[in-house]
Amino acid sequence: MSLNEFDLIQRFFNLPTNHRKDVILGIGDDAAILQVPFDQQLVVSTDTLVSGRHFPVDTSPADIGYKALAVNLSDLAAMGAEPAWILLALTLPNTNEIWLKKFTDGFFSLMQRFQLQLVGGDMTQGPLTITVQALGFVPREKALCRIGACPGDRIYVTGTLGDAGLALETINKKDCFGLTSSQILSVMQRLNRPEPRVEIGLALRTIASSAIDVSDGLAADLGHILSANQVGAILQLEKLPLSDTLQALPSEKAWQWALSSGDDYELCFTVPELHERSLQQHLTILNTPYTCIGTITKESGLILLGKNGSIFSIDRTGFQHFV
């Protein structure tokens, strides 16, 4: 006999792990009761992942669980927030217990790594859809926002860009682009298991003038910062951080992926010149790669400079949800 909604919640989600002191009442009632620490502000992010739209239909349930949480933690990281509590709304075609076990393995592995607690949510039947709400804290007046970038600020990104987009293209077009099996495995890992840059977000609170996570493509997401501040930017494309896999491809094709493909979940942030030494000190301790790729300008618009200073154009600016 298949389990009902409440049996599934009790078996797979109401686990005796990571009970935080700031959770007064968690799973099991009509709503959770949570205690926000004194002198902290609450930061809230919600993302929905739909099968076939935000992840390929044959993605492993463990990878789906991991990524559903990771993309929300990436949003909190971009705000300089420390994650604490998680809500999960799960829509399933059927009560497949094997699928649920693997999904929760991926989901809870990332939760435990950041010492988070699942405090509520919902389950219902329908097309596979996962909605996660992540809540975290930031000291008053210390949150990172898109607003704040000024002309002269340097533009930085963490990690490397474009691998997830390349992985999606190999799936959608069934074209390996001459990649080896190990290269394909590497870019697929970047697509399915993005690294939420939580520690970097915390370190940037007093250093960065603005920040955003790269979820829809660097050009599109940096464009949100430019629009919010009514400024422009010049990017030096030869400085874009690319993995060994993308560096092995023609540079202009690699740049297209790095600029316009989504799912990287790296941080893009701006830093005033007077804070650059502090940036180096903080991020060296975290041992996370970061790269200066351009400068904020007073004149509006995004200028992309390729080889020998030539103007480069991209086919599309980034991921669109309604196309």
What CATH number is associated with residue 115?
Answer: 3.30.1330.10
Calculate mean pLDDT across residues 230-238. Answer: 97
Residues 6+ apart with CB under 8 A from 304: 219, 235, 237, 259, 311, 312, 313, 314
Which tokens is 34 given?
Answer: 């949570």
Is the pLDDT at 70 greater than 80, yes or no? Answer: yes
Q: What pLDDT score does 9 carry?
A: 66
Q: Of 43-52, 166-175, 302-311, which range is least confident?
A: 166-175
CB-hemisphere CA count at 13 Å for 290? 28
**φ/ψ (deg, to 5) at 209:** -90, -20
Residues 6+ apart with CB under 8 A from 64: 49, 55, 103, 106, 130
Same domain, 265 and 134: no
Residues 6+ apart with CB under 8 A from 255: 237, 240, 306, 312, 314
Q: What pLDDT score does 29 carry?
A: 83
Strands 82-92 and 129-139: antiparallel
Same domain, 235 and 168: yes
Same domain, 161 and 304: yes
CATH at 267: 3.90.650.10
Residue 316: which pLDDT band, with cuts at 50, 70 and 90? low
Measured between its terminal Cα atoms, the distance across the chain in Å is: 41
| Rounded CA separation 84/100 (Å) | 23
With respect to residue 144, please indicate whether it lies within any of the assigned structural domains: no
With respect to residue 39, please indicate whether it lies within any of the assigned structural domains: yes
Same domain, 40 and 133: yes
Residue 148: which pLDDT band, with cuts at 50, 70 and 90? very high
With respect to residue 209, please indicate whether it lies within any of the assigned structural domains: yes
Q: What pLDDT score does 13 carry?
A: 65
Same domain, 54 and 130: yes
Average pLDDT, the chain: 90
Give the structural domain span for 96: 5-139
Same domain, 13 and 124: yes
Calculate mean pLDDT across residues 189-200. Answer: 96
Which tokens is 145 given?
Answer: 């926002």
pLDDT, one tens digit per residue, over 71-126 is: 999 999 999 999 999 999 999 998 888 999 999 999 999 999 999 999 999 988 99
Is the pLDDT at 26 greater than 80, yes or no? Answer: yes
Total domains, the chain: 2
Other CB atoms within 10 Å distance of the CB of residue 288:
17
With respect to residue 225, please indicate whether it lies within any of the assigned structural domains: yes
With respect to residue 323, please indicate whether it lies within any of the assigned structural domains: no
| Rounded CA separation 80/170 (Å) | 34
Other CB atoms within 10 Å distance of the CB of residue 6:
11
With respect to residue 114, please indicate whether it lies within any of the assigned structural domains: yes
Q: Of 8-12, 165-169, 307-311, which range is least confident?
A: 8-12
Calculate mean pLDDT across residues 151-175. Answer: 91
Q: Domain boundary at 105, 139, 173, which?
A: 139
Q: Domain boundary at 95, 114, 139, which?
A: 139
Same domain, 158 and 303: yes
Q: What pLDDT score does 5 carry?
A: 64
